[in-house]
Amino acid sequence: MTDRTITDPKPADTTTSDLKTSDSTKFLSHLELDQPDKTFLDSNELVINMGPQHPATHGVLRVILKLDGEKVLGTECVIGYLHRGVEKIAENRTYTMFNPYVDRMDYVAAVSNGLGYCEAVEKLLNIEAPPRAKYIRVILTELNRMASHQLWLGTHALDIGAMTPLFYTFRDREEILKIFEKYCGARLTTHAFRIGGCQYETYEGFERDVIKFLDFVPPKIDEYEELLTTNRIWLERTKNVGVISRADAIALGVTGPVLRASGVKWDLRKAQPYAAYSDFDFEIPIGANGDTYDRYTVRMEEMRQSLRIIRQAVERIPEGPIMAKVPKVMKPPVGEIYHSIEAPKGELGYFIVSDGSTQPYRIRVRPPSFVNLQALDVMVRGALVADVIAVIGTLDIVLGEVDR
């Protein structure tokens, strides 16, 4: 019997509580701190802790900054405060029972999570959702993308200091959440889709509500842009801040608007279409510099393109069943599948290993925010402290997804 206990590389006496300068050598060994015995006033370098509780870290994220005055020399992210063991839970639930857990990862864009999971399991079962279900899925997913980007805009602007866009975006996001509530009963963690299609038929007046929303929102997006896009202070805070080059972005595996802002015109909805996206006509916005301002413009344009997709979908939604023939007891054959979708944050992937039983053998969620957050270190080297907060905001991370 081999000894299963594997010891960690560093002795387990570094607690994750208050960071004292003398402990920082163990924490930040890769940042090469010299003279560990000096107090912070003696050396030029300061180690500052942006603790798990912080108004601007979008959840429980801890960032340890090594500063030279105002300039950031290095960062280390400590995550895992929201780790709930979703992947372990998946091994103990059936495929259908696991569906609601999936919403709770990226709780801001729960519909996308559900879409990815349902499609992955459908692929494993080798079934396809009927066309009407696919259209409903597209409409709800794009509405969710819109809501996620609106939340991102409000919180990002708030971090940079503009207080008002937050309230405007939340007011408009309410309309989307009302549609979700009328459709499936929940606003945020919707559990909207089922394996094989949708459970709920669209409610009476769904198309009317969606079209009303489509007419209501474009002037609102213009309103947000009016406050921010040409504002001199906004430009100074976001241009050339948090630049990530195209090569770095690909090497670091960032996806989503972060990658597109660095100049890579790649979107899974176009590259490997899923769920009726191939029926629709839309653009993929890209940016030139890979700075925060480009990520901002890319997401604003994505909002408008989402509206375009929704309009096309709502006009052409086909009739028919909304649920495919799915066995009551789902036992996918032995095998593995990897399926990914373009979530608002990036490429959200599900790697499902099935052993032929009703419970998945292993589900691995490839979280876009986790991989994007890794790029934080590269993006803030040499920037100032205030930029760290802007960059965390622009990466659009959701800790539920980072930690799962």
Partner 1 sequence: MPEEIKSSTPPGGESKPAAGHAPAAPAKPAGATAVPWESAMVAKLKGQYGSGIRESSTYLGQNYIVVEPSIVAELLQILRDREQFDYCVDITAVHYPDREKQFDLVWILYSFPRNERIRVKTLIADGESVRSAVSVWATANWLEREVFDMFGIRFDGHPDLKRILLPDGWKGHPLRKDYGIIQQDQEWVKANLGIESGQ
Partner 2 sequence: MLNYITSYLSSNTTPGQAGNVFWATVYILVVFGGISVAVMAMNWLERKALAHFQIRLGPMRVGPHGLLQPIADAIKLMTKEDIIPAEADKFVFWIAPLIILCASFAVYIVVPFGPTHAITDLNIGILFMLGVSSLSVLGVVMAGWASNSHYPLIGALRSSAQMVSYEVAMGMAVVSAVLMTSLHGLGPYGVGVGTSGTGTLSMIGIVQAQQEQHVWFLFKFFPLGFIAFGIFAIAMVAETNRAPFDLPEAESELTAGFHTEYSGLRWSLFMLGEYAAMIAVSSIAVTLWLGGWYRPFPNTLTGDTWDLVFSLFPALTFLTLAAIAFVGVRRMPKHPYFRVQTIGLAGFGAVLGLIGLILFAPPVRDRIQDIFWFVAKVAGFMYLYIWYRATFPRYRFDQLMKVGWKVLLPIGIGVLILTAILGVVL
Binding site for partner 2 (CB under 8 A): 40, 46, 48, 50, 55-56, 65, 70, 157-164, 166-168, 171, 227-228, 231, 233-234, 236-237, 384-389
Minimum distance from residue 48 beta carbon to partner 1 (Å): 20
Minimum distance from residue 2 beta carbon to partner 1 (Å): 6
The interface partner of residue 229, options being partner 1, partner 2, none and the CB cut-off 5 to 8 Å by kind, is none
Q: Does 88 contact partner 1 by CB under 8 A?
A: yes
Minimum distance from residue 132 beta carbon to partner 1 (Å): 14
Q: Does 49 contact partner 1 by CB under 8 A?
A: no
Which of 209, 92, 82 lies closest to 139 in space, CA to CA? 209
Strands (E) in 318-366, as ranges, are: 335-343, 346-354, 362-366
49 has which bridge partners? 64
The interface partner of residue 227, options being partner 1, partner 2, none and the CB cut-off 5 to 8 Å by kind, is partner 2
Q: Among residue numbers 201 through 220, which ones bind partner 1 (CB under 8 A)?
A: none
Q: Whole-angstrom Cα distance, residue 132 to residue 135?
A: 5
**Which window, 108-116, 171-179, 285-293, 369-377, contacts partner 1 (CB under 8 A)?**
369-377
Q: Whole-angstrom Cα distance, residue 311 to residue 303?
A: 13
Q: Whole-angstrom Cα distance, residue 34 to residue 21?
A: 11
Judged by CB under 8 A, the residue of 358, 384, 385, 386 near partner 1 is: 358
The interface partner of residue 392, options being partner 1, partner 2, none and the CB cut-off 5 to 8 Å by kind, is none
Quick one: how far is CA 355 from the chain centroid? Answer: 29
Q: Among residue numbers 304 through 333, which ones bind partner 1 (CB under 8 A)?
A: 323, 325-329, 331, 333
Judged by CB, which is closer to partner 1: 221, or 275? 275
Q: What angle do CA 316, 321, 196 make, to 5 degrees?
A: 105
Q: Whole-angstrom Cα distance, residue 119 to residue 350?
A: 9
Q: Among residue numbers 258 through 297, which ones bind partner 1 (CB under 8 A)?
A: 264, 266, 271-272
Question: Residues touching partner 1: how many (CB under 8 A)?
Answer: 78
Minimum distance from residue 205 beta carbon to partner 1 (Å): 21
**Which window, 42-50, 117-125, 175-183, 224-232, contacts partner 1 (CB under 8 A)?**
117-125
Judged by CB under 8 A, the residue of 60, 72, 124, 129 near partner 1 is: 124
Which of 46, 51, 55 lies closest to 74 in space, CA to CA? 46
The interface partner of residue 356, options being partner 2, partner 1, none and the CB cut-off 5 to 8 Å by kind, is partner 1
Laid out side by side, the sheet with 335-343 consists of 335-343, 346-354, 362-366
Contact 390, 242 (CB under 8 A): yes
Task: Spell out the SS3 assignment of 164-215.
Answer: HHHHHHHHHHHHHHHHHHHHHCCCCCCCCEECCEECCCCCCCHHHHHHHHHH
Minimum distance from residue 271 beta carbon to partner 1 (Å): 5
Minimum distance from residue 298 beta carbon to partner 1 (Å): 17
Judged by CB, which is closer to partner 2: 134, or 156? 156
The interface partner of residue 231, options being partner 2, partner 1, none and the CB cut-off 5 to 8 Å by kind, is partner 2
Judged by CB, which is closer to partner 1: 131, or 321? 321
Which of 116, 145, 114 lies closest to 348 in space, CA to CA? 116
Minimum distance from residue 24 beta carbon to partner 1 (Å): 14
Token readout for 245 is: 């080059």
Q: Does 334 contact partner 1 by CB under 8 A?
A: yes
- DSSP structure string for 55-98: TTSSSS-EEEEEEETTEEEEEEEE--TT---HHHHHTTS-HHHH
Contact 153, 169 (CB under 8 A): yes
